[in-house]
Amino acid sequence: MASTINKTAHSFDKSRLDALLNRRFFYAPAFEIYGGVAGLYDYGPPGSSLQANIIAEWRKHFIIEEHMLELDTTIMTPAPVFETSGHVARFADWMVKDTKTGDVLRADHLVKNVLEARLAGHNEARGLAAAPPAEDKKKKKKAAKTAAVILPDEVVAEYESILAQLDNYSGADIGELCRKHKLRNPDTDNEVGEPQLFNLMFASSIGPTGQHPGFLRPETAQGHFLNFSRLLEFNNGRIPFASAQIGRSFRNEISPRAGLLRVREFTMAEIEHYVDPEDKKHERFDEVRNVKLVLLDRHVQEAGKNTTVEITVGEAVDKGIIANETLGYFVARIYLFLVKIGINPERLRFRQHMANEMAHYATDCWDAEIHNSTGWTECVGCADRAAYDLSVHSKKTGHPLVVRQALKEPIVTEKEVPEWSKKALGKTYKQDAAVIQNTVEEMDQEQLTTLKWQLAQGKAVIKSSDGKEFELTPEVLTIEHKTIKQSIREYTPNVIEPSFGLGRILYTLLEHSFWGREQDVERGVLSLPPVVAPTKVLIVPLSAREEFDPLVKEVYSKLRKAGVFSRVDDSNTSIGKRYARNDELGTPFGVTLDFASVQNRTMTIRERDTMDQRIGPIDEVIAVVTELVFGNITWDEACQRLPVYDGVQAVET
């Protein structure tokens, strides 16, 4: 039997985790030897592997499993695309300037930091547990600056209400809050100016003449939308279907300070699922109907609360909490994916966006939020973008981004239709002809009926959108009653968009996986599931002596053939130290080759979390560890097949 372990013997210590991630080069500040740049990070070998494994699992879970169409589109984007999509006007955050130093702060972060510090001071003064939610030193320092003062009950209630709906405020609202509550730059205690919008896109210029402004994409989505017609054709004109893309995006964050949780360059995985707006059912919804989710809906938040409910996705859709089956299907699939790669389901919730918070293109949005040492963090967004993007690009470019569907039975309608005498129109109205035509073409049936009656009287007066009046006669225009038979239905599909921030997922996964050995907190362990662990099996020869070489090569190549990625550690330190290093790297299994291996062809296997060691013939151990890595058996089942190892060679020292 496996030994019992206690992963929560020590409370979570972010500084220990950060030290581990830095020491083992999971990731590090980019350009560190040049002093670094806030919000830019490089992934080292274990971080790159972890990210690659998360991506591989994502590709299986979504692209392969659901037959999505993969894309790889361009990052550098000409300005007109983001002018049309609305990003040039609206993809911005509110910033405030310190009135004396000129330092720039993100306005909503300022409100959050100051009010949270005041509430912490209040609790401290009242003698309540005053530990700030985050453990990092900067926050502690800031909190320490705020005097421990007891606040009146109504002030506490007001602060809590502000924090609950922080994402809902406009720039003017935040300016007002700063004045009313005397919110100052916590680093300098200076006042701050009026909030101003700062566009988060990085700008550049394409080509040698400097005449073609461009932006680095802040999301991969537009690359999907612009290719919609080609994708639809590739899918033989059928709908629903989804496109998927994994790639880099860029956001010029105002003052990023939260490690991988807020960065200026990041890898995203985005799905754009195209549906008939009149039928948002999903054919595989029944497969996820019973998945239980923790939800925080917009009404609760708008009331200044944060009470969650646990509910099946089926019930949530039935009750209208989640708007439709397709949105619900993806919310559930996101949940299943996150739990599969090792996110703790008890620290995962779905929060609905409030009305003012929603991105300019979305009609409904649920964020998968994962709890970590800084609080709840949005890691996946799942938005219903409706027909917004396809419509605006289509309108701007004149290229139809629509689905044309043959109707089983043609739809027959009767309606009033304007019939022009083009010649008379041009001759009579010259350059005004187009305006006149547009004005009439945009009229609804009721207006046309009125116009028809007026024309029947001999003349009619119409008013263009800019207020000009024109007199029309039956020589130029008549309105005819027609029967129209429509055999093709043409519509702009709606888009459901699950959008994953892979760096945020990777970081919260590391937090959820990290613990210290009960007997010694300094011995950190990352309990990453085999599916995402950078290395699955560590091969540890007792020493770097040549006699072990053939066995090391044999085990390595047999594991490789079985599809298991292993690494050899023949460095010149004790086996215990080599295992400890690999506990920090999250390597789930280790196999040791010693003199007994050479003589008897046996090998020991060690499980990372329990440190249990088992022994068996080399090929049997390879077979067992392969099944463990692929998740076909548990460690307890492995223990049924391999006896306990009680030798001395591989004892950890």
Site for a copy of itself in 27-66 (CB under 8 A): 28, 30-34, 37-38, 40-45, 47-49, 51-52, 64
Nearer to a copy of itself, 49 or 146 (CB): 49
CA angle 346, 352, 353 (to 5 degrees): 135
Q: Which of 58, 94, 159, 250 binds a copy of itself (CB under 8 A)?
A: 250
User: Looking at beta carbons only, is 65 or 279 nearer to a copy of itself?
Assistant: 65
Q: How far is the CB of 339 from a copy of itself (least distance, A)?
A: 22
Residue with smaller CB distance to a copy of itself, 177 or 401: 401
- One-letter amino acid identity for 517? R
Residue 424 within binding range of a copy of itself, rule CB under 8 A: no
Min dist. Cβ of residue 274 to a copy of itself (A): 14
Hey, what's the torsion of the CAs at 383, 384, 388, 390, to 10 degrees? 90
80 φ, ψ to 5°?
Answer: -55, -30
What residues from 559 to 618 belong to the interface with a copy of itself (CB under 8 A)?
Answer: 560, 563, 565, 567, 571
Q: Nearer to a copy of itself by C-beta: 104 or 164? A: 104
**Angle, helices 618-629/549-561, rounded to nearest 10 degrees:** 40
* Residue 6 or 101 having the CB closest to a copy of itself: 101
Q: Which of residues 174-233 bind a copy of itself (CB under 8 A)?
A: 198, 202-209, 212, 214, 216, 223, 226-227, 229-231, 233
Which residue carries 């019939």 as its tokens? 419
Strand duo 241-250 + 69-70: pairing? parallel
Out of 72, 409, 414, 469, the residue judged to bind a copy of itself by CB under 8 A? 72
Residue 393 as a binder of a copy of itself (CB under 8 A): the answer is: yes
Site for a copy of itself in 508-567 (CB under 8 A): 560, 563, 565, 567
Which lies closer to a copy of itself via its Cβ, residue 86 or residue 647? 86
Q: What's the min distance (Å) between Cβ of 250 and a copy of itself?
A: 7
Of 85-144, binders to a copy of itself (CB under 8 A) are 95, 102, 104
Six-digit token string for 389: 């993007």
At 116, which helix (H) or strand (E)? helix 107-125
List the x/- string, 260-289, binding to a copy of itself by CB under 8 A.
----xx-x----------------------
- For a copy of itself, the binding residues in 359-388 under the rule CB under 8 A are none
Contact between 325 and 317 under an 8 Å Cβ cutoff? The reply is yes
| List 236, 307, 632, 653, residue binding a copy of itself (CB under 8 A) | 236
CA pair distance 415, 449, nearest whole angstrom? 10
A 10 A CB-CB count for 264 gives 19
Measured between alpha carbons, how far is 25 from 5 in angstroms, rounded to an integer? 27
Does 24 help bind a copy of itself (rule: CB under 8 A)? yes
Restricted to residues 307-346, the positions that interact with a copy of itself (CB under 8 A) are none
Q: How far is the CB of 229 from a copy of itself (least distance, A)?
A: 8
65 vs 480, beta carbon nearer a copy of itself: 65
- State the CB neighbour count (10 A cutoff) for residue 304: 14
Site for a copy of itself in 395-414 (CB under 8 A): 397, 399, 401
Q: Please say which residue, 44 or 426, places its beta carbon nearer to a copy of itself.
A: 44
Question: Residue 124: helix, strand or coil by DSSP?
Answer: helix
Report CA-CA distances (Å) from 627 to 517, 563, 582: 26, 11, 20
Residue 166 sits at the vertex; the CA angle it makes with 161 and 170, to the nearest 5 degrees, is: 120
Q: Which residues contact 318 (CB under 8 A, 6 or more apart)?
A: none
What's the closest the beta carbon of residue 211 comes to a copy of itself, in angstroms?
11
CB of 630 to a copy of itself, least distance (A): 11
User: Pick from 2, 75, 151, 339: which binds a copy of itself (CB under 8 A)?
Assistant: 75
Total of residues contacting a copy of itself (CB under 8 A): 77
- Using CB under 8 A, pick the residue from 7, 66, 80, 478 that binds a copy of itself: 80
As a whole number of Å, the CA-based R_g of the chain is 31
Minimum CB distance to a copy of itself smaller for 81 or for 379 = 81
Q: How far is the CB of 563 from a copy of itself (least distance, A)?
A: 8
Inter-residue contact 390 to 228 (CB < 8 Å):
yes
C-beta of 236: minimal distance to a copy of itself in Å? 5
Q: Count the residues in the chain.
A: 653
Closest CA to 272 of 310, 309, 251, 241: 241
Which residue number, 212 or 427, has a Cβ lying nearer to a copy of itself?
212
Residue with smaller CB distance to a copy of itself, 81 or 625: 81
Q: Identity (one letter) of the amino acid at 56?
A: A
Residue 67 binds a copy of itself, judged by CB under 8 A: yes
Name which of 568 and 628 has its Cβ closer to a copy of itself: 568
Largest CA distance in the chain: 111
Which residues contact residue 354 at a Cβ distance below 8 angstroms, ignoring those fewer than 6 apart? Answer: 165, 167, 168, 298, 301, 302
Closest approach of Cβ 11 to a copy of itself, in Å? Answer: 29
Whose Cβ is closer to a copy of itself: residue 209's or residue 599's?
209
CA dist 484 and 126 (Å) reads 76
Site for a copy of itself contains 480 (CB under 8 A): no
Strand, helix or coil for residue 627: helix
Of 248, 281, 360, 481, the residue at the interface with a copy of itself (CB under 8 A) is 248
Q: How far separated are the first and last CA of the chain, in Å rounded?
A: 23
How far out from the chain centre does Cα 227 lie?
Answer: 22
CB 307 within 8 A of CB 260: no
The residue within the footprint of a copy of itself, chosen from 17, 69, 331, 495 (CB under 8 A), is: 69
DSSP-derived secondary structure letter, 61: I
**Type of residue at 487:** S
Token reading at 578: 């080599």
Name the one range near a copy of itself by CB under 8 A: 68-76, 109-117, 183-191, 358-366. 68-76
Residue with Cβ nearer a copy of itself (513 or 566) = 566
Distances (CA, A) of 7 to 341, 525, 577: 18, 9, 20
